[in-house]
Structure 1
């Protein structure tokens, strides 16, 4: 009965320690993400332009979010959204494996100096972090969050180690790890299963280190378990890819192929090494030893396999070929890839940067509508009017999707500045959509103008052309404020809006005089007045766009 009670308490202690470890890792990752949020757009641009730097970015992002599984899921989202191709994704995935080693090095700090031991560092970090979080400004709160997470991580590690101490002299545990050391397949399976269940290689390595701190784990068992952990970490991405397109599924498969290939190579090498160095394999592994092997494995695996990235991509394409019809023609899974993929929400900084790009594309489509309206009016081309209607539907759908996505981002753990950006983007897409609505209004007016075979006077034609140019230029300038964060242009947009207001008043007055003098067709005159009214409202929304951008500061 006493043994059963001890077992139950041990299980509870291990679960509690693991929970604290995972929660601390999550809090630390949230704080790091908030701190790095403003740099995510730059990292995203690196990802899409240089596959070599993609390895570094993958390592950096994983070090920030403390999970190679989360990074790989995010990469699957990027591929599904069309932001990355498979070759670029391969570099990021390889880098993610390197970045995940940072957690094991944090855990092994206690072996370097007594004041870095979890029992000393955990309460100190939690206390300092809590003070900064409660009493600091936004920047200090983020730093406090990171330090609190650091403290909780160490508390979890300490709790797991203390829970296992009664078994320190247990021959059963020693025999179990010796068996795994003598049987590579068993050791790899144990590492794989544990990591697949908790879906975090960082956490499973942390568990291994907590047991190793008691001197129970020999070197050979630790090596095989770590190799299995690197395969187990692929499970999260494979599950995530289940609802993605075929290209994204291939990205998850590349992750699996990469880790399996590395595991096979290192397993064969390790078996040969331990066969000729049996004494070394039986030596208890240290926490730092685990960190060293974990790092060597992931770095070496990347160095060896990175030159074969294209071959990994080709293999994934062969294993997951395109679906074909009976006639043999390939079926395109999606003509329009949904860029706002929910997998990217794992990193709000990246999600916001991706959303900004989508907002700018929505703005470019709206700018195209303004140009088409002017072209349709001058060339009397009804086909151009139809294009405005088609593009306006796309803008409407984009506004709805982006709004829903921004709401989901807002539900994530984001910094105060990121929250301001989300709010500003919500206002911005509303203004862009309203401008597109005014384009549609103008297109309908122009369609009536064409079909009724109406004509403006030469003076009226020049006036409407001038105003259309002014408003379109002002909108593009407002979008550039958002695109480049160049707030010097904001004042220019506001001045131009004042000029448009004055022009609208002057043109309305002059045109009413022309109508009174029968110098212009009445039906055409009504359309003229409605056109300049819509243009003036477009210019109002331009000011709203730059003010929304300014509100982020």
Structure 2
């Protein structure tokens, strides 16, 4: 729109709209409104091959400018808009001053439009959400920054995929949080939330995997070629974490339906295992997001603790069942929880090992990781 408005300014200043400068301004303002509508084409074209969020943003931009122009047009022809411009720009119109006055009119339109639309943002969001639907096979609430046009620039595409893998990890973490909360507190709402989050994790897997497969069909250098399979394995590990979160949610549902309760000792031990898993998640996501090898090693440390806890807690719970403190039913639920947390830890360990190997396929094989396992065993 800047180029169009510059052209309008040039025409007005040269007298193309007449030398009655007030009339010239009133003729120029509709061109300004048209330029604001025309500029939406750029956003629409840019969003053609992108995801649903980008397309909705483009349409929100279009609606803002079109509705704003339709509201402003009657004000232009009644002279109210011109008078408002003169309030902001009180100088006398001439061949020289009509040019900055047109710029003021453009600014005034956008500023006033923004102020008016600000309280209507929620309404605008609902309209574009209902109007612009996901394409067939396009998942909602999952990866939103996987632009197809970046596939021709593999380094940028890979960086994008890694950023989405971090988001997927956060979704998996939240799914586990909801699942263990459901189990410990007996919350059906958290069970349902776990289902939604697990579906979101599955969507991430589908979209990221498809994106990486499409990237693999491009001409890639050795570094990108080695990183691709590692990222695919990370995605699969995160999806498995989501599955285990759903397992815990189903255990929670069984616990609620049968009105089962843990003993105080079982609650304390379960919370210890949950806290260790949460700390492991934090280290894993930090390592993944910042490529922090130190945090990746921290994940392996937590894995060793969770493995030891699994053995200890199973033994303690068998003793409680033998002593009659817990029933066989709650014992099965408790052991299922501990086993699922340990498996979640295993998948996070896989991701940490990949990062320690430099997220390169050759770096996570052979002797690179043997020392890590030895360190855990010691």
Task: Map residues 50-449 of structure 1 onto 2, 5 A cutoff.
Answer: 241-243=47-49, 245=55, 247-248=57-58, 330-332=127-129, 333-334=132-133, 336=140, 338-449=144-255
Q: Distance in 2 between matches of 1:246 and 1:492?
A: 41
Q: Distance in 1 between matches of 2:265 and 2:48?
A: 62
Q: Distance in 2 between matches of 1:240 and 1:507?
A: 56
Does the 8 Å contact 1:431/1:545 carry over to 2?
yes
Does the 8 Å contact 2:191/2:253 carry over to 1?
yes
Question: Is it true that 1:529 corresponds to 2:335 in the alignment?
Answer: yes
Deviation at 1:509, TM superposition (A): 1.4
Deviation at 1:334, TM superposition (A): 4.9
Q: Distance in 1 between matches of 2:43 and 2:256?
A: 55
* Aligned match of 1:514: 320
Call closer, same or farther: CA 1:341–1:516 in 2, change over 3 Å: same
* Aligned match of 2:259: 453
Q: Distance in 1 between matches of 2:161 and 2:45?
A: 25
Task: Map residues 31-50 of structure 1 onto 2, 5 A cutoff.
Answer: none
| RMSD over equivalenced CA pairs, Å | 3.4
The number of residue pairs the alignment matches comes to 256
Q: Distance in 1 between matches of 2:297 and 2:246?
A: 28
Deviation at 1:498, TM superposition (A): 1.3
SS of 2:324's partner is coil
Call closer, same or farther: CA 1:459–1:341 in 2, change over 3 Å: same
1:462 corresponds, among 244, 248, 268, to 268
Return 510-519 or 540-549, whichever deviates more: 510-519
Q: Distance in 1 between matches of 2:255 and 2:56?
A: 48
Q: Can you list the C-alpha shifts for 1:101-153, whole angstroms capped at 9, x where unaligned?
A: xxxxxxxxxxxxxxxxxxxxxxxxxxxxxxxxxxxxxxxxxxxxxxxxxxxxx
Call closer, same or farther: CA 1:365–1:334 in 2, change over 3 Å: same
Does the 8 Å contact 1:366/1:395 carry over to 2?
yes
Deviation at 1:237, TM superposition (A): 9.8
Does the 8 Å contact 1:373/1:384 carry over to 2?
yes
Deviation at 1:421, TM superposition (A): 2.4
Question: Is it true that 1:500 corresponds to 2:297 in the alignment?
Answer: no
Ranges in structure 1 where 5+ consecutive residues have no aligned partner? 1-89, 92-234, 253-306, 318-326
Does the 8 Å contact 2:44/2:58 carry over to 1?
no
TM-score scaled to structure 2, two decimals?
0.60
* Aligned match of 2:95: none
Ranges in structure 2 where 5+ consecutive residues have no aligned partner? 3-40, 63-102, 114-122, 135-139, 361-378
TM-score scaled to structure 1, two decimals?
0.42
